[in-house]
């Protein structure tokens, strides 16, 4: 039973298209994240939601829009895709850090987006 | 300035030997957490080990240990008795707790690619 699942795993599309990646976690965590891993393997935070509320919004083009319908889901919609958007996008979740909780991130398998 | 620095882009180690992967960090927050993740070629991110800034003992998890030197702001990962399956990218990461108000996200280093030779 997958803890953090994201779909699709692979996405190949043309420049200018709009696409979405969905993420769901069944761990009961309050906080969810989107990270982008570029071709050099560098992982960078894009967005973070805590209990459906946006708490981190890094310097990301406004073509990227996260949506959290409930605390178990965090979707990523990308408009007008560009070549530079090609990357692996990871969804993750974590528990609040209190009472000995370490707060490690649980990652999904990643969604590899290729823009042609 | 980088918050997490991993100075070794690539490392080789002979099977069954120990290897140390370096990580230094930069924060002014007295409360923080340090993490190591493994990313094999299949792409998933696997949590390995955690060290809290107030933990007195170095963290250990099986063959993994974290050499935490707080004054030097270093958190090196030691893998003992390397196995072929240890070949992967390894990422050091930090969570800053912002005086009790952590946003939870981790800041990652650029990673070290470890190759284990038979």
Average pLDDT of A55-84?
Answer: 92
DSSP per-residue letters across chain B: --SEE---SEEEEETTS-EEE--EE----S-EEEEEEEE-TT---EEEEEEETT-SSPPEETTEEEEEETTTTEEEEEE-S--GGG-EEEEEEEEE-GGG----PPEE---EEEEEE-
Q: Which residue has the higher pLDDT, B18 or A30?
A: B18
pLDDT value of position B109: 97
Task: For the beta carbon of residue A67, count every other beta carbon within 10 angstroms.
Answer: 15
Q: Is B102 a residue whose pLDDT tops 80?
A: no
- Please tell me which of the candidates B39, B50, B108 has its beta carbon nearest to residue A104: B50
Contact between A43 and B91 using a beta-carbon 8 Å cutoff: yes
**How far apart, in Å, are the Cα atoms of A101 and each of A61, A69, B51, B112?**
33, 26, 12, 27
**Cα(A91)–Cα(A89) distance, integer angstroms:** 7
**Cα(B60)–Cα(B49) distance, integer angstroms:** 7
Tell me the chain B residues in contact with residue A109 when contact means C-beta distances shorter than 8 Å.
Answer: 43-44
If you count residue pairs, one on A and one on B, with CB atoms under 8 Å apart, how many are there? 58
Mean pLDDT for chain B overall: 93
Residue A14: helix, strand or coil by DSSP? coil
Tell me the backbone φ, ψ of residue B104, rounded to 5 degrees. 90, -25
From the list A75, A111, A69, the residue with the least C-alpha distance to A90 is: A111
- Predicted confidence (pLDDT) per residue in A32-47, tens digit: 999 999 999 999 999 9
| B106, A36 Cβ separation under 8 angstroms | no
Average pLDDT of B61-73?
Answer: 97
Tokens linked to B63: 């063959």
Residue A81: helix, strand or coil by DSSP? coil
Q: Which residue has the higher pLDDT, A84 or B103?
A: A84
What region does B16 belong to: left with phi over 0, alpha with psi -120 to 50, or beta? left
Which positions 48-67 of B are in contact with A (Cβ < 8 Å)? 50, 52
| A34, A74 Cβ separation under 8 angstroms | yes
Tell me the chain B residues in contact with residue A104 when contact means C-beta distances shorter than 8 Å.
Answer: 35, 47, 50
């Amino acid at each position: 039973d997958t803890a953090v699942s994201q779909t699709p795993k692979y996405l190949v599309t043309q420049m200018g298209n709009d696409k979405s990646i969905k993420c769901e976690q069944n761990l009961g965590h309050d906080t969810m994240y989107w990270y982008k891993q570029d071709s050099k393997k560098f992982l960078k935070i894009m967005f973070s939601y805590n209990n459906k509320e946006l708490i981190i919004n890094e310097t990301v083009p406004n073509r990227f829009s996260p949506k959290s319908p409930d605390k178990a889901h965090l979707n990523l919609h990308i408009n007008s895709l560009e070549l530079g958007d090609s990357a692996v996008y990871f969804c993750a979740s974590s528990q609040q850090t209190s009472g000995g909780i370490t707060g490690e991130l649980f990652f999904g398998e990643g969604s590899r987006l290729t823009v042609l | 300035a980088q918050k997490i620095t991993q100075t070794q882009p690539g490392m080789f180690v002979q099977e069954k030997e120990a290897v140390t992967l370096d990580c230094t960090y930069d924060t002014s927050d007295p409360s923080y957490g340090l993490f190591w993740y493994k990313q094999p070629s299949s792409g998933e991110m696997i949590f390995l080990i955690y060290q809290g800034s107030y933990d007195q003992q170095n963290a250990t998890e099986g063959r993994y240990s974290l050499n935490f030197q707080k004054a030097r702001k270093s958190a090196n990962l030691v893998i003992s008795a390397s196995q072929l399956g240890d070949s992967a990218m390894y990422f050091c990461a930090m969570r800053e707790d912002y005086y009790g108000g952590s946003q939870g996200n981790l800041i990652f280093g650029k990673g070290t690619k470890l190759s284990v030779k038979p």
